[in-house]
């Protein structure tokens, strides 16, 4: 059967398989499958069950909302999960032997996270409480509530995806009795608490809380071990940086957690730490590994993909993700500091669960030609068994392009890694246009994973080049830090040198039909490129930065991110302006399409407005498309019809000019 070309509307055909959770005995598991309902214009995620021995897969929930964060009780008899079937996320409990799910919580603002108590009779929850209120206080509802002024007294007052932050609410931790539904609040005070772990004996919690009154320049959340009975706190870590994902070993002696200090601000690699509760010592288990822990991939298919920071086995071995050389691999470590990869290269392990005996893992895996499925992976031999095939029919019907990995010398003669895709239906001897894609972050990475947008461009007859310039994760600490203070310098050179390298090696590339696009940092770089080069015949900038001076005051992160990344604040506007693409607007000769979400608080839409009006006033070829009710994550998690419209705008612009 002849395969068809991939289309924009394939967003509605693809299935996302995420979040595998093994039962305590390792004989069964649950996971979440998400699809997009085109008619309803929304994402639908339901819980599925798999028998690990027979590979039989059964759908367990059938709601029209989204299920997430499934977790087994310690005895394996029940599964709790979050569901937004009644708007706010609430905890539901389902018997492992079947039946209807029981709603456990009814918090007005929903539950942000939860953990089982080992006894199986209680569930610990993290939820929002109004100042001077408790979980059990009922709020009076006012259907005629009027708009009120919003008084700003803090610098951290807005957040992308949220908007203006509530000023009188705080995340607290409580425990819910499953039999009665009664809630007992555990934490208090006007502080934001995070629930990280419950010990296997149920006597200890790991929580995060920063009790400093002024949080404007607080970029830390200390972790504490708390005695459940006495509430006495022991410091796990109280240092500048980002730490979390704590897990107790099976014997409760050790606590593993991940995090990064702030030596290089947000460019610092994350590491795995072990705390010994017997002697209160802490060690960095991955200090010798020059790559970051976790999943730093940018892509556009997987929905709600999350993975544990670290998982223990009963014999005190640990498993965790590492982003390395365009892959996300599962790694294995011993308490003595031995480190080994546990999964192969050339793939993206975006979710995993480990059997308690360490014999096998359940992994959700994607690569360039596979949107992602669930597999059983035998640790010792590397053998794999396919457990789901939700995208099998799709892959049999649709032609996908396999990217070619490339390595070339960038600025300072450093190796730069990337990929080149030929157009779908490529024929030897023909000439084709090429589009350069640039990722955001900048501390993120393109990877060996399925990317609908890349495949769409290839399906429409374009070659696609995407690289990981300096600043990208997955390589050395020196490499990821090298972009800071040098936006538009070595990173620009890395991208343009990569373009030169593929042109020199591929005579099918039509150098008269080159395009460039990117979002966030990739939008900044697109703006920078068209202000410094006329090589491209068309460009599309998305959710971009154009003016670092105004960005400082309007972005939810601007007042500190500008200093971290550019090395300047409002006391050095000359440097901010020097790195602002808007300064070079007069040089732009490339037709530029500007795409921006109206509710983007990360790179606010005024960045696009300034760029558009400036270019238009100079008589440049430009258009501006605004996406209502969309935030910074439009391309990944935005309302489906707007995601389709965005892709149509991109492909339409390139069709017009290339």
Average pLDDT for 258-282: 96
Report d(CA 230, CA 204) in Å as an integer: 10
Q: What is the pLDDT of residues 215-242, one digit of tens each?
A: 999 999 999 999 999 999 999 999 999 9
Task: Give me Rg for the CA atoms of the chain.
Answer: 25
Does the N-terminal peptide bond of residue 632 adopt cis geometry, omega within 30 degrees of 0? no
State the Cα angle at 519 between 513 and 524, rounded to 5°. Answer: 85
Tokens 């991109």 belong to residue: 650
DSSP one-letter string for 439-475:
-SSSS-B--SS--HHHHHHHHTT-EEEEEE-TT-SSS
- Judge whether residue 142 has pLDDT over 70: no
Q: What is the pLDDT of residues 606-654, one digit of tens each?
A: 999 999 999 999 999 999 999 999 999 999 999 999 999 999 999 999 9
pLDDT mean across residues, the chain: 96
SS3 percent helix, strand, coil of the chain, rounded to 5, is 20, 35, 45
Q: Of 335, 195, 175, nearest to 253 (Cα)?
A: 335
Average pLDDT for 488-517: 98
* Contacts of 557 by beta carbon, 8 Å cutoff, 6+ apart: 602
CATH number of 401-415+470-657: 3.40.50.1820
- Judge whether residue 136 has pLDDT over 90: no
pLDDT classification of 309: cutoffs 50, 70, 90: very high
- Judge whether residue 355 has pLDDT over 90: yes
- Output the pLDDT for position 383: 96
Report d(CA 583, CA 580) in Å as an integer: 6
Percent of the chain with pLDDT over 70: 99
Catalytic residue list: 520, 632
Q: Of 647, 341, 242, 294, nearest to 444 (Cα)?
A: 294
Q: Of 54, 45, 36, nearest to 17 (Cα)?
A: 45
Average pLDDT for 251-280: 96
pLDDT classification of 131: cutoffs 50, 70, 90: confident
- Output the pLDDT for position 143: 63
Six-digit token string for 613:
């009006």
Q: What is the pLDDT of residues 435-449, one digit of tens each?
A: 999 999 999 999 999
Average pLDDT for 506-529: 98
Average pLDDT for 32-54: 96
CATH architecture group of domain 4-137+168-394: 6 Propeller (2.120)
- Output the pLDDT for position 130: 87
- Output the pLDDT for position 564: 97
- Output the pLDDT for position 100: 86
- Output the pLDDT for position 141: 62
Six-digit token string for 223:
């972790």
Instruction: Please report, for the chain, the start and end positions of each structural domain, with discontinuous segments joined by +.
Output: 4-137+168-394, 401-415+470-657
Kindly tell me the sign of the dihedral angle through the C-alpha atoms of 296, 299, 302, 303.
positive
At 527 the three-state DSSP class reads helix
- Judge whether residue 129 has pLDDT over 80: yes
- Judge whether residue 139 has pLDDT over 70: no
pLDDT classification of 140: cutoffs 50, 70, 90: low
Residue 68 · residue 89 · CB < 8 Å: yes
Residue 239 · residue 229 · CB < 8 Å: no
pLDDT classification of 85: cutoffs 50, 70, 90: confident
């Amino acid at each position: 059967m002849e395969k068809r070309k991939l289309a924009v509307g394939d967003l509605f055909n693809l299935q996302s398989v995420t979040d595998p959770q093994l039962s305590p005995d390792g004989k069964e598991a649950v996971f979440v499958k998400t699809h997009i309902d085109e008619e309803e214009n929304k994402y639908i995620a339901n819980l599925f069950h798999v028998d690990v021995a027979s590979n039989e897969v059964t759908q367990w929930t059938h709601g029209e909302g989204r299920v997430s964060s499934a977790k087994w009780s310690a005895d394996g008899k029940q599964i709790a999960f979050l569901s937004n079937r009644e708007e706010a996320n609430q905890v539901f409990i389902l018997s492992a032997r079947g039946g209807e799910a029981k709603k456990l919580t009814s918090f007005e603002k929903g539950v942000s996270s939860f953990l089982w108590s080992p006894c199986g009779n209680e569930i610990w929850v993290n939820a929002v409480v109004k100042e001077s209120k408790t979980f059990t206080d009922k709020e009076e509802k006012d259907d005629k509530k009027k708009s009120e002024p919003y008084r700003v007294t803090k610098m951290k007052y807005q957040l992308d995806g949220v908007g203006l932050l509530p000023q009188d609410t705080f995340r607290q931790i409580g425990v819910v009795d499953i039999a009665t539904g009664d809630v007992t609040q555990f934490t208090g005070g006007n502080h934001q608490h995070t629930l990280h772990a419950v010990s296997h004996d149920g006597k200890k919690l790991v929580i995060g809380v920063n009790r400093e009154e002024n949080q404007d320049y607080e970029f830390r959340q200390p972790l504490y071990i708390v005695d459940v009975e006495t509430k006495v706190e022991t410091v796990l870590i109280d240092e500048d940086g980002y730490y979390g994902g704590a897990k107790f070993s099976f014997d409760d002696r050790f606590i593993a957690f991940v995090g990064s200090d702030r030596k290089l601000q947000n460019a610092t690699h994350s590491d795995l730490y072990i705390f010994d509760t017997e002697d209160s010592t802490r060690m960095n288990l991955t200090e010798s590994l020059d790559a970051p822990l976790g999943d730093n991939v940018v892509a556009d298919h997987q929905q709600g993909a999350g993975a544990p920071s670290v998982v223990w086995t009963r014999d005190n071995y640990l498993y965790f993700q590492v982003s390395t050389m365009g892959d996300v691999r599962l790694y294995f470590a011993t308490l003595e500091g031995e480190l080994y990869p546990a999964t192969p290269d050339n793939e993206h392990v975006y979710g995993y669960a480990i059997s308690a005996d360490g014999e096998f893992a359940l992994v959700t895996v994607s690569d360039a030609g596979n949107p992602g499925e669930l597999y059983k992976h035998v640790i010792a031999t590397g053998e794999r068994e396919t457990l789901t095939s939700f995208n099998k029919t799709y892959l049999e019907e649709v032609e996908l392009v396999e990217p070619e990995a490339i390595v070339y010398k960038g600025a300072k003669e450093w190796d730069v890694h990337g990929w080149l895709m030929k157009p779908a239906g490529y024929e030897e001897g023909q000439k084709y246009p090429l589009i350069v894609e640039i990722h955001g972050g900048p501390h993120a990475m393109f990877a060996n994973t399925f990317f609908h947008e890349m495949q769409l461009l290839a399906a429409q007859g374009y070659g696609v080049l995407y690289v990981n310039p300096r600043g990208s994760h997955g390589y050395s600490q020196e490499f990821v830090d090298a972009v800071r203070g040098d936006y538009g310098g070595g990173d620009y050179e890395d991208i343009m040198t990569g373009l030169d390298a593929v042109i020199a090696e591929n005579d099918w590339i039509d150098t008269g039909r080159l395009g460039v696009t990117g979002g966030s940092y990739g939008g900044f770089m697109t703006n920078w490129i068209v202000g410094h080069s006329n090589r491209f015949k068309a460009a599309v900038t998305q959710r971009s930065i154009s003016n670092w001076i105004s960005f400082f005051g309007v972005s939810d992160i601007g007042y500190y991110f500008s200093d971290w990344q550019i090395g300047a604040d409002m006391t050095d506007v000359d440097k901010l302006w020097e790195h602002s693409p808007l300064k070079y607007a007069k040089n732009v000769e490339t037709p530029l399409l500007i795409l921006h979400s109206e509710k983007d608080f990360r790179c606010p839409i005024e960045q696009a407005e300034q760029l558009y009006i400036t270019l238009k006033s100079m008589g440049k070829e430009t258009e501006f498309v605004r996406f209502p009710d969309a935030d910074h994550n439009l391309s990944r998690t935005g309302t489906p019809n707007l995601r389709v419209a965005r892709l149509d705008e991109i492909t339409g612009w390139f069709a017009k000019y290339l």
